[in-house]
Amino acid sequence: MANPIRSVAIIGGGAAGAALTIHLCRAGVQVVVFDRATRPPAVVGESLVPATIPFLRELGIEEEVAGYSTYKRGATFVLGPDDVLNFTFADVRGATTGYSYNVPREEFDASLSARAAECGAKVVRGTARVERVGDSDRVRLTPETLDLTEGFLREQPDLIVDASGRVRLLPNLLELPFTAGSRNDTALFAHCEGVAQVVEGDVHTDRLERGWSWRIPLPGKMSVGLVMDSDTLKKFGSTIDQQFDAYLKHDPLIALWGEHPRRLTPVLKYSNYQLVSRRGFGDGWVLAGDTFGFVDPVFSSGLLLAFDGAKQLSRAILAGGGERQMRRYEAHVARHIRAWQQTIDHFYSGRLFTLFRVGETMRESLLGRMLGPHFEKHLPRVFTGEASAKRYSVGLVDFMCKRALLDNDPRLLAIR
């Protein structure tokens, strides 16, 4: 049986790192979390799916988050000038939670960090440095990094958790194998004003002439993202600011938003996603959150994966952190990521929206009335996150997207 884990160093104070810190500190584990002192003005992951709400309650921050966030009652998909789909969380059959929030990440991350400190963690505002032990699979904190803890850690921790996100500290250091998704897009995003909404408070997904966009309502501003292949973006300017501004003026669907968006922040670029590590743990280390894998910004799955993974990892650590527990954690996270990847692939291929359209036409048929309640229970709850880790529900979405399109051509609704 593995020795119990008494001390943990977590690299990264984002959602995954902070949530794990809170779970472990509550159980009496000594935790130091290294959190960068500065953050970008905008961060991908501002919209929460309803399945994150129970995690916010467990972490003790939902009331605080509600106070500075935008209430989110559903999602709106704009497929064309006169082609709009609305999805209301409270109408989902069998839903546990019928709402969510769009969160300003600076305040949201600060809430998580403050809660972690309240639970007894040592929060270090600095960058942790890790070195490989010879040619082995083991890593350790550098002496300078240990010094940053000001005596909180007097020796190497029992476990190092890499929650560094897109930095992918340990995967790069150890040259861990990874799986890349089918897309190689670039996301450009910024906070703007003067952006219309179809349904107030909804997260909006627009199918553009090329790629797609998001509109996430935040207090006093709108997060706007453009997701498409890099070669297309390069045609609109030599800098990311130029590309973002020029494409907003170019696309005819964006013109229907009304008043032209005015940027409040610099444009940020997000490109190294759809990467999933094939190994999630090793000798004295483990990956968490986006470091383990992040699929795509569509459907806002990132924070759910972070919170769910942190909970699963805390259970593995508190159960002893042996190979059996870590393999169970690794398998759970990998399976959850694959489920989202599968659904997201159907979004890009056009099969998902084609299925929605078929469902609308079949609703009043005899077959539709017979099977409708079953589909209405399982399919929507994949997108709210409540069934995104349920094999049957995810499998049903996959089966329907492949076998139930009634000869409709999904390419007509594909993301180009």
pLDDT digits (tens, 9 = 90+) for 58-82: 999 999 999 999 999 999 999 999 9
Q: Whole-model pTM?
A: 0.95
Residue 275 and residue 294 in contact, taking contact as beta carbons nearer than 8 Å: yes
What DSSP element (H or E) covers 83?
strand 83-88
- The helix/strand/coil state of 244 is helix
Phi, psi of 193 (to 5 degrees): -125, 165
Residues 58, 174, single domain; the answer is: yes
Residues 39, 166, single domain; the answer is: yes
Closest CA to 208 of 242, 184, 185: 185
Q: 365 versus 108: which is more confidently predicted?
A: 108
Residues 231, 359, single domain; the answer is: no
d(CA 132, CA 149): 20
18, part of any domain: yes
Phi, psi of 97 (to 5 degrees): -130, 130
* pLDDT above 60: residue 1: no
- The helix/strand/coil state of 117 is helix
Say which residues have a Cβ less than 8 Å from residue 257's Cβ, sequence separation at least 6: 195, 196, 215
Q: How many CB atoms lie within 10 A of CB 130?
A: 20
CATH number at residue 207: 3.30.9.100
CATH number at residue 321: 3.50.50.60
Range of the structural domain that residue 372 is part of: 350-413
Provide the β-strand partners of residue 270.
187
Mean pLDDT of 368-392: 89
d(CA 178, CA 339): 17
* pLDDT above 80: residue 209: yes
Amino acid at residue number 211: G
87, part of any domain: no
Residues 326, 217, single domain; the answer is: no
2, part of any domain: no
User: Tokens 């942790």 correspond to what residue?
Assistant: 128
Closest CA to 256 of 211, 200, 298, 198: 198
Residue 286 in tokens? 């483990």
Residues 45, 189, single domain; the answer is: no
Residues 258, 290, single domain; the answer is: no
Say which residues have a Cβ less than 8 Å from residue 49's Cβ, sequence separation at least 6: 100, 299, 300, 301, 303, 304, 383, 384, 385
The DSSP bridge pattern shows strands 7-11 and 285-287 to be: unpaired
Mean pLDDT of 96-111: 96
Domain boundary among 291, 319, 341: 341
In eight-state DSSP terms, residue 47 is: B
- What digits encode the pLDDT tens for the residues 330-364? 999 999 999 999 999 999 999 999 999 998 888 77
Domain boundary among 270, 289, 314: 270
In eight-state DSSP terms, residue 112 is: H
Residues 266, 278, single domain; the answer is: no
